Amino acid sequence: MKQLENKKTLYSGVQPSGNITIGNYIGAIRQFTLLSDQYNCLFCVVDLHALTVRQIPAELRRNTLELFALYIAAGLDPQKNIIYCQSHVPEHAELTWILNCFTYMGELSRMTQFKDKSARNQDNLNAGLFTYPVLMASDILLYQTSLVPVGEDQRQHLEITRDIAERFNNIYGNVFVVPEAYIPKETSKILSLSDPLRKMSKSEPDGAVFLLDNADDIRRKIRRAVTDSDAEIRIDIENKPGVSNLLQIYSAFSGESTDEAIGRFEGQGYGQLKKGVADAVIAGVEPIQKRYQELIADKGMLHQQMMNNAERARQIAARTLRKVYKKVGLYQG
Residues designated catalytic:
117, 199, 202
Residue 29: name the closest of 288, 230, 258, 261 by CA.
288
User: Buried (b) or exposed (e) across 251-267, using 16+ Cβ within 10 A?
Assistant: bbbbebebeebbebbee
φ/ψ region of 255 (left if φ > 0, alpha if ψ in -120 to 50, else beta) reads: left
Four-residue CA torsion sign, 112, 113, 119, 125: negative
Burial of 116 per CB tally in 10 Å (0-12, 13-18, 19+): exposed
CA dist., res. 183 & res. 16, Å (int): 23
Within 13 Å and on the Cβ side, how many CA atoms surround 183?
A: 4
Residue 217, φ and ψ in degrees, nearest 5: -65, -40
The answer to whether 156 and 113 are in contact (CB under 8 A) is yes
